[in-house]
Homo-oligomer: A and B are copies of this chain.
Amino acid sequence: MKGARITLKDVAEACGYTINTVSRALRDDPRLPLPTRTKIRQTAFSMGYIRNSLASTLRSGKSGNIAVIVNDIHNLHFCNMLSKIDIELRRAGYNMMVLCMQLDESLAEQMIHSAISQSVDGILFFPYHDNPSHIEYMENHSIPFVLLDRWIRGKVTDNARCDDVQGGYLAGSHLARLGHRRYLFLSGVNQSSSQLDRLEGFRRAMYDYGIPDEGIRIVPGENVEQALAQRRIGELLFPMNYTAIISFRDEVSYPVMLALEEHHIAIPGDISIVSFDHLRGEIPYLPKLTSIYADGESVAVQGVRLLLNRIADRTLPPQVTILPVRLYDEGTTAAPVKT
């Protein structure tokens, strides 16, 4: 095959029709008789013709591309969702374009800019911090978008996520029913809706089960990370008057468990732990850990559905889909020891 790319014009010359006719044959326009269509398509195929979708998009206004803007691609949780999004979009005839901010959310606007510049038909946006400015940027440019996995307080937009409030409540009530009275809540580093919601659900559970505020200590994510980095996680746990730990995510819970092991504190004998994420669902050879599981793939499916609806009709009222979560009891909780 030659170096220069083959265009409609080349195909048209080769088979004796005009560019327009060839274009319509390749798009399977029913106004062209079937034999003509097949003949043209065959010539095009045998010449190795590949449509220039840029030109096509430019003229038709529809690119068939959807941008997915995500913070961090290292994370297995996101990878699974991306994979599912890809499958769902492809099924609907779209391509997925991943834009990754590499944990630097200040790039969000650049990413949105880039997506619009490439004429995507819509954006699936994974918020990281609870920051409305990027959302407003998308609104201002009136591009269809859906927030995934999290939401932004004060912004009414299309959104698909798991019920983090319920997650927090499940974790708290599970421990409360076992009889725990003294809780250590290890939260996350960023002010995301998932963190805020989980904490809110937890607090609600504490209230419902009559646990007094004095029985609850909430450690900010920064302190947790710092303690882990300096291998001083033990200090967070002492004085050892806590009987239950709730940890914002598995990636923190496991190091904490290792630290507990080093201090010869038995799980769940001495202390119970409930976590969020349930990584073990994806990496089955991890240690067992009672954890709240949110089905990211369903979020992906629903998010794609919402976006396609939005693209089809921009005047729809904002839709929110909240999916239930569940607690996988894997034995890292038990009734507290009477002291």
Chain A 44-76 interface residues, beta-carbon cutoff 8 Å to B: 48, 50-55, 57-58, 63, 72-76
- In the complex, the answer to whether A54 meets B102 with C-beta atoms within 8 Å is no
A1 interface residue (CB < 8 Å to B): yes
Chain A 87-130 interface residues, beta-carbon cutoff 8 Å to B: 87, 95-100, 102, 113-114, 116-119
Closest-CB distance, A280 to chain B (whole angstroms): 11
Given contacts A76-B76, A140-B48, A141-B50, contact A96 B98 (CB under 8 A): yes
A86 interface residue (CB < 8 Å to B): yes
A287 interface residue (CB < 8 Å to B): yes
A238 interface residue (CB < 8 Å to B): no
Closest chain B residue to A287, Cβ basis: B285
A80 interface residue (CB < 8 Å to B): yes
Sort A-B residue pairs by CB-CB distance and give the 6 closest, nearest first: A254-B285, A53-B117, A54-B54, A1-B140, A98-B98, A73-B83
A178 interface residue (CB < 8 Å to B): no
A339 interface residue (CB < 8 Å to B): no
Closest chain B residue to A86, Cβ basis: B100
> In whole angstroms, what is the CA distance A13 to B117 when docked?
21
> In whole angstroms, what is the CA distance A50 to B142 when docked?
13
Q: Please, which residues of chain B bring their CB within 8 A of the CB of A54?
A: 54-55, 57-58, 63, 118-119
> In whole angstroms, what is the CA distance A75 to B75 when docked?
10
> In whole angstroms, what is the CA distance A255 to B284 when docked?
9
Q: Please, which residues of chain B bring their CB within 8 A of the CB of A48?
A: 140-141
> In whole angstroms, what is the CA distance A254 to B255 when docked?
19
Closest-CB distance, A171 to chain B (whole angstroms): 20
Closest-CB distance, A93 to chain B (whole angstroms): 12
> In whole angstroms, what is the CA distance A1 to B96 when docked?
27
A79 interface residue (CB < 8 Å to B): yes
Q: Choose one: B3, B55, B83, B255; the contact of A142 (CB below 8 Å).
A: B3
A283 interface residue (CB < 8 Å to B): yes
Q: Please, which residues of chain B bring their CB within 8 A of the CB of A255?
A: 284-285
Closest-CB distance, A245 to chain B (whole angstroms): 16
Closest chain B residue to A54, Cβ basis: B54
> In whole angstroms, what is the CA distance A285 to B247 when docked?
16
Closest chain B residue to A143, Cβ basis: B5
Given contacts A79-B73, A141-B48, contact A87 B116 (CB under 8 A): no
Given contacts A1-B141, A86-B100, contact A55 B58 (CB under 8 A): yes
- In the complex, the answer to whether B86 meets A73 with C-beta atoms within 8 Å is yes
> In whole angstroms, what is the CA distance A286 to B254 when docked?
9
> In whole angstroms, what is the CA distance A72 to B51 when docked?
26
Q: Please, which residues of chain B bring their CB within 8 A of the CB of A254?
A: 285
Q: Which of A76, A83, A86, A98 has the most CB of B within 10 A?
A: A98
> In whole angstroms, what is the CA distance A284 to B228 when docked?
13
Q: Please, which residues of chain B bring their CB within 8 A of the CB of A73?
A: 79, 82-83, 86
Q: Please, which residues of chain B bring their CB within 8 A of the CB of A86?
A: 73, 100, 102
Q: Please, which residues of chain B bring their CB within 8 A of the CB of A75?
A: 79
